[in-house]
Structure 1
């Protein structure tokens, strides 16, 4: 079974996506000069510096993990059409509340496309240049939602290209669609080909826009000649900055920034995301795409170099759609859905755990974090995946000095605290959520502990 060997890379791609988004999110919309003056190079999460939670609802995450569900809704058809993906937009988006930037007709590309769809105009016409104009149809949005079409087509670039093209054309056209195809093909091929130059060479064969091809080739030459990423960034700003293109968030500027980050970051996951976050423009979108591709390309080992980026995230993510019972999610749960889709497309059968918490991927903790209340009485020292140490799937909860009056407490979120104490809120994207814990549920767990360290164990719930 070919798909079996790709599962960890799919998981790494999901992790890379959300880590990249969380790294770039706090400085989204900041000028390059402000980023440099405030942080310099961003190698770690800055949410605590800007007054926001680390885990927030974000369009890059919600849209990416919502729109590909058109495949499941249509029986995992290999001939999935743009119209069917457009229908998924109508099914999973709640107007003026979820996923999109609701900036208005002919101001927000995605909002414009949604209005077209709502008024009965089917995709791909909903995203066409003919209907919406060149400035609207060639913005960055086609790229930010594209990763899942590659993740469900590991080492299947032809199919990834077709699905990505159909998905991108729901809201975009022209160069923006071609850039999305380029990225999706690179990600699909990255399951087997880790070399960035080879990925670019092969993926450019799928691009139908000569201007984009020439742009990418010039960027590659600039990267070869530069000693530092900032030299390339200066060239992008000078020749292809936002002032050179119409619209709020043009594709060209951001696509070049994304590719610069991949090339100049080399095989260093943290460095590539740092460049994408530190360069300015659409930081969370660019870093999220960079993180996904490098997650696939470098695998889980790629997260081990540099600062510890996995532990603070702990797999946590929000997928905010009309399916509010799926809002509180994690990288393992989303990986299972992607693997199921990939298996269906590949015609393979694959076993997936039925339990919500199975911790089946290396290093996964599925949102298990320290319980923050009464930290002075907290004896918990570590939360980590148990497989490598014990050969069983599980989450190890370590503690020291546990005695009377102390506890080793960990928890998982079952609802979203919409306005954390001392914070202004989660983000400018609304949160619609149903709790994952409610009256009448039966909860079971298997607890293994050394006899000489066997504590009293109990479930608890806390309402803030």
Structure 2
């Protein structure tokens, strides 16, 4: 299972870094300009090849918070979020919530009624650490989302990704049912589209982009990330598919990467993708999460 923790956290960062240069581009524009993207590239706004964005930055902050508190503390997580340096790569909802936290608002007051995907992209550490208890994963995902994103679709997407990661680590054959059932409590559209993503998993990428969407909205990007996960035989296929679809490419690839990485483990992640920013730091956080997970389950 340690390999799965490593694969999931590393997979998130890899997907983020692969999608970073083409974030906001359309499927057609990517094909016209690059053909097919298969490896890290620098961005036009100065980020280096293999460098990740706020998706990974927020996930690592969440991992660090969990390691400090063991049982999720929204106060601790909010304090760490408030200390992040906001760049132009941060989404509008996260940026606004972080500003409120810096102004002294509590985590109960800082969340924005927004349905963007910023809470889902970072939630993997919760799915990893508490994978032994899906109810706890769901509960903590809801709270973690609410610190920045209080929209029903945003919360449903966050619950879906956290549950998906937990199920993938456990090789749970009920992954689709668990994800859909738990997401449905918060937003039926997100749940229905994730279920549909599974149904069209054998369909081509263009059809999936057209019917699911891949914008920053949680009711598009989360189901589409699950489509990339469901439709791919291995890690590389999942992230390459997500990146080349365009749209919110870094976040979709980060989510599909964290899901497929949790399922596959680090051994099945191609060597060329390990030339990622802060590779050793990411592995260290994953290993420490695994150690805490062992302590929690032994106590249980």
TM-score scaled by length of structure 1: 0.58
Aligned position for 2:74: 82
Name which of 110, 113, 119 aligns with 2:103.
Answer: 119
Structure 1: unaligned runs, 5 residues or longer: 1-5, 130-136, 243-248, 304-308, 319-327, 349-464
Deviations 1:371-416 (A, max 9, x none): xxxxxxxxxxxxxxxxxxxxxxxxxxxxxxxxxxxxxxxxxxxxxx
2:271 is the alignment partner of 1:310: yes
2:162 aligns with 184
CA distance in 2, matches of 1:13, 1:102: 22
CA distance, structure 1, for counterparts of residue 165 and residue 157 of structure 2: 12
2:39 maps to what in 1? 44
Corresponding residue for residue 135 of structure 2: 158
Q: Quote the residue 1:433 is aligned against.
A: none
Q: Do residues 257 (structure 1) and 224 (structure 2) align?
A: yes
Hey, what does 1:93 align to over in structure 2? 84
**Which residue of structure 1 aligns with residue 235 of structure 2?**
269
Aligned-pair CA distance for 1:146: 0.8
Q: Which has the higher strand share?
A: 1
The aligned runs of 1:211-250 (5 Å cut-off) are 211-223=189-201, 226=203, 228-237=204-213, 242=215, 249-250=216-217
User: 1:259–1:312: structure 2 CA closer, same or farther, 3 Å change rule?
Assistant: closer
In structure 1, distance between residues paired with 2:44 and 2:103: 43
The number of residues matched between the two structures is: 296
Please report how far the alpha carbon of residue 264 of structure 1 lies from its aligned counterpart in structure 2 after TM superposition: 1.8
Could you give the per-residue CA deviations for residues 24-55 of structure 1, whole angstroms, max 9, x where no partner exists?
12211222221011233333333399985323
Alpha-carbon distance in 2 for matches of 1:154, 1:89: 24
Work out the CA distance in 1 between the residues paired with 2:209 and 2:99.
Answer: 35
- In structure 2, how many angstroms separate the alpha carbons of the residues matched to 1:69 and 1:44? 28
Say which one has the larger Rg.
1
2:90 and 2:235 mapped to 1: Cα distance? 32
- Per-residue CA deviations over 1:186-221 (Å, capped at 9, x if unaligned) read 1111122265xx311122222212222222233333
| 1:164-175 aligned within 5 A | 164-173=141-150, 174-175=152-153
Structure with the larger helix share: 2
Deviation readout 1:335-392 (Å, 9 max, x if unpaired): 23322332343346xxxxxxxxxxxxxxxxxxxxxxxxxxxxxxxxxxxxxxxxxxxx
Listed as ranges, the gaps of 5+ residues in structure 2 are none
Structure 1 counterpart SS, 2:247:
coil
- Secondary structure of the structure 1 residue equivalent to 2:159: helix
Higher relative contact order (CA 8 A, sep 6+): 2
In structure 2, the CA distance between the partners of 1:48 and 1:253, relative to structure 1 (3 Å rule), is closer
For the 8 Å contact 1:161–1:206, the answer to whether it is kept is yes
**Cα distance, 1:210–1:252 mapped onto 2, change above 3 Å:** closer
Structure-2 change in CA distance of 1:12 and 1:221 (3 Å): closer
Q: What do residues 290-312 of structure 1 show as CA deviations (whole Å, max 9, x unaligned)?
A: 11111111223432xxxxx3245
